[in-house]
A and B are shown apart, each in its own frame.
Chain A
Amino acid sequence: KAGVTQTPRYLIKTRGQQVTLSCSPISGHRSVSWYQQTPGQGLQFLFEYFSETQRNKGNFPGRFSGRQFSNSRSEMNVSTLELGDSALYLCASSPGQGDGYTFGSGTRLTVV
């Protein structure tokens, strides 16, 4: 079966711009969660969506937002980019019961 697809793989943006990242989950999975990975803070939970509803949210500013569509695909958006937003952004899909996770390869965002 196809894995979790994240697009784009790499992205370079300028401070102040906004960016949208996409995640296509495994077919049949209803849950998508997002994580930010940086050398300083490690892997931090951003938010999770289940059946188009945000079920949980991490401690990130309101510049970070997301949504999930009826086909379970998810997008996350970061507005007014800051240098500190440079990170590897990972999404994971699962059936939605706290296990069975599969992670995508990530989107590496560089803010200059």
Chain B
Amino acid sequence: SQQGEEDPQALSIQEGENATMNCSYKTSINNLQWYRQNSGRGLVHLILIRSNEREKHSGRLRVTLDTSKKSSSLLITASRAADTASYFCATSRSYNTDKLIFGTGTRLQVFP
């Protein structure tokens, strides 16, 4: 399967704690993106990191990319109950295609 892998599959933490999710992929990429999905609804784009970038920040989100290991991590700092959702990484191989290969997802539960 082309699908990427994410771990952990599920993560439960308390509000205020940090949450780290990892993503591994199989092929060379143009960029890697992280998405959030609430209860089987649409995907919300969180952050995009290009293959020539190593780290990116957006608010409480920090993404790292290691192309030599074909892996990425998403860190959510000071988590809130509203962060409870499933998180997916997705890779794009080229600038001239919109085909995304998604990871298996991490289900995050943040307890108040």
**A101 near B98: Cβ-Cβ < 8 Å:** yes
Instruction: Classify chain A: how many residues form its interface, as a range.
Output: 20 to 34
Contacts of B104 on A, CB cut-off 8 Å?
Answer: 42
Candidates B3, B43, B96, B105; contact of A90 at CB < 8 Å: B43
Contacts of B95 on A, CB cut-off 8 Å?
Answer: 97-99
Contacts of A90 on B, CB cut-off 8 Å?
Answer: 42-43
Contacts of A103 on B, CB cut-off 8 Å?
Answer: 35, 42-45
How many A-B residue pairs lie within 8 Å, measured between CB atoms?
72
Q: Say whether, besides A33-B99, A48-B97, A98 and B92 are in contact (CB < 8 Å).
A: yes
Q: Mark A84-99, 1 if CB is under 8 A from B, else 0.
A: 0000101010101111
Nearest A residue (CB) for B29: A98
Candidates B42, B48, B90, B98; contact of A31 at CB < 8 Å: B98
Contacts of B45 on A, CB cut-off 8 Å?
Answer: 101-103
| Interface residue count on the B side (C-beta < 8 Å) | 27
A interface majority secondary structure: strand
Contacts of B71 on A, CB cut-off 8 Å?
Answer: none
Contacts of A50 on B, CB cut-off 8 Å?
Answer: 98
Q: Does B59 count as interface, using CB distance less than 8 angstroms?
A: no
Q: Does A43 count as interface, using CB distance less than 8 angstroms?
A: yes
Contacts of A33 on B, CB cut-off 8 Å?
Answer: 98-100
Q: Once the chains are docked, how many angstroms separate the CA of A99 from the CA of B32?
A: 9
CB distance from A90 to the nearest CB of B (A): 6
Q: Mark A42-79, 1 if CB is under 8 A from B, else 0.
A: 11110010100001101000000000000000000000
Q: Once the chains are docked, how many angstroms separate the CA of A5 from the CA of B107?
A: 26
Q: Once the chains are docked, how many angstroms separate the CA of A92 from the CA of B33?
A: 14
**A43 near B88: Cβ-Cβ < 8 Å:** yes
Q: Does B75 count as interface, using CB distance less than 8 angstroms?
A: no
Q: Which residues of B (18-52) have their CB < 8 Å from a CB of A?
A: 30-31, 33, 35, 40-45, 48
The residues of B with any CB-CB pair to A shorter than 8 Å are 3, 30-31, 33, 35, 40-45, 48, 88, 90, 92, 94-105
11 A-B pairs in the complex with CB atoms less than 8 angstroms apart: A37-B40, A42-B102, A45-B100, A55-B98, A56-B97, A56-B98, A97-B96, A99-B31, A103-B45, A105-B42, A108-B40
